[in-house]
Every structure is written in C-alpha cells, then in structure tokens.
C-alpha cells in the first residue's frame, strides 16, 4: 500500500475535507486497511488568487517547501486540495520524482467517464482559477468548453469562499445558497465545485435534478485512493 502526501492548509477546512473523503472512499474494514497519509498543513502559503492578480507574494516557493517536507516523509504520491494552486502544478512536477495527482485532471477524467454530452459547463471557483486558466486550458484540449458566470455571480462565489475561509460558516452558506439559485436559473447542466471550499457548502443547498455537480475534492480523493491501492478508479 502506497503513502499519500497532502500539501495542505489552503485552507485547513478544505484539507480536512479531502482527508475525510480519502477515508470515505477507501474500502477498509479495519484501521490497518486505511491508506497512510501525511498532511503538511501549511496555511502560511500566500494567497494564490492575490498573486495571480499581481497583488501578492508568489506561493511557489512555499509549495516547494511543503512538497520537500512530504518527500522527506517518504510519500509515494502528492496532491493538494487547492484548485487555484494547480496553476503551479507543472512547475512542481518538474521538481519532484514523486507522482503528483492533479485535482483538475481527476475531475476531468470523471466527467469524460460519465460519457454525458454537457452543453453548458460552469466552474464554481476563485477568480485566480479563471485568471490562470487552470481548468479552461485542459478542458479545451479535450473539447470541453467552460461557460463563465456573469460578474455578479462570480463575485458572490468569491464572497462565499472567502467568508468560509474567514470562519463565518453560517454566512458563507447563506451567500452560497443565494448564488446557487441564480446559477441554476442560467440553465447550466454541469457544474464543477472547483474550489475546495465549495464542496463544504454543497450539502446545504437544494440540489436540482437537471444539474450534475462534480465535486473536485471527491474526484481527487478517489484518484488518490486508486493510486495508493493500485486499483482503477470506479
């Protein structure tokens, strides 16, 4: 059984959510059958969106520092529960011999495996994820187009994310509930929870049967479990 390493702290709640989902997706019947996981919870990694706006410190040296600690801990694969940070994934992969499992590649794989032809894909993510084309570029290479939200919807999504990061869970849920209703009215048939704070809010919204929602954190967890157990992703 392989050992997983998590570059965490972006934010801590999102890191916890990934760990929970790794546990949930592991077919274990006793403690000893669970995957060994090393988490480097490093909240001091500078804000990724701020950097991509040209207003903050470069997170890359901090990501490399975290990755190095995990490598020294003997992990067999790396992952990070922050979609925006995947702007740096190719740079990180150049600096390590350890398999780096991408959250973007994981959810893209799950969407392609669904074999559904989505007409309107929406991405619930930070501004930085859009600026860096973290999803847009790999999706377009597979012939999938992401249709951006209008500015008001995007701002509300950002508000819900950063309100949760600030520790006001109730307010974050209220903001997200309101904006999700507006998103549904825009006739999206596929939505990606492409910021790792968003899946934490998803259980509190009323689902719409006409919209398929892909939880990127869940996809990542499944792919990490698959790698560590040498199994194919179901």
Residues recognised as catalytic: 82, 195
Q: CA-to-CA distance for 197 and 65, rounded, in angstroms?
A: 23
Which structure tokens are listed for 228?
A: 């560590």
- Determine phi and psi for 148, rounding to 5 degrees: -65, 150
Peptide bond into 57 cis (omega under 30): no
Which structure tokens are listed for 232?
A: 């194919």
Q: Please, is 8 exposed, middle or buried when counting C-beta atoms within 10 Å of its C-beta (0-12, 13-18, 19+)? A: buried
Unique residue bearing structure tokens 């893209």: 108
Element (H, E) at 222: helix 216-229
Q: Which of 212, 214, 152 is nearest to 184 (CA)?
A: 212
133-145 exposure pattern, b = at least 16 Cβ within 10 A, e = fewer = ebbbebbeeeebe
How far is CA 74 from each of CA 63, 99, 186, rounded to the nearest angstrom? 17, 12, 47
């Amino acid at each position: 059984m392989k050992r997983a390493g998590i570059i965490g702290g972006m934010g801590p709640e999102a890191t916890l959510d990934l760990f929970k989902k790794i546990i949930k997706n592991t077919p274990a019947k006793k403690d000893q059958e669970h995957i060994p996981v090393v988490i480097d919870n490093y909240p001091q990694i500078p804000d990724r969106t701020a950097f991509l706006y040209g207003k903050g410190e470069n997170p890359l040296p901090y990501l490399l520092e975290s990755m190095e600690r995990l490598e020294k801990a003997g992990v067999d694969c790396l992952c990070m529960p922050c979609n925006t940070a995947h702007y740096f994934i190719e740079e990180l992969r150049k600096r390590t011999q350890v398999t780096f499992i991408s959250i973007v590649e994981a959810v893209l794989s799950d969407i392609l495996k669904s074999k559904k032809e989505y007409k309107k894909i929406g991405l619930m993510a930070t501004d930085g994820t859009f600026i860096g084309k973290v999803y847009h570029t790999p999706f377009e290479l597979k012939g999938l187009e992401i249709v951006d939200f209008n500015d008001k919807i995007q701002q509300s999504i950002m508000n819900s994310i950063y309100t949760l990061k600030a520790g006001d869970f109730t307010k974050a849920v209220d903001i997200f509930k309101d904006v999700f209703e507006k998103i549904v009215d825009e006739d999206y048939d596929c939505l990606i929870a492409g910021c790792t704070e968003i899946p934490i809010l998803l259980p509190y919204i009323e689902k719409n049967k006409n919209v398929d929602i892909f939880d990127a954190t869940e996809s990542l967890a499944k792919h990490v479990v698959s790698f560590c157990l040498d199994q194919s992703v179901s």
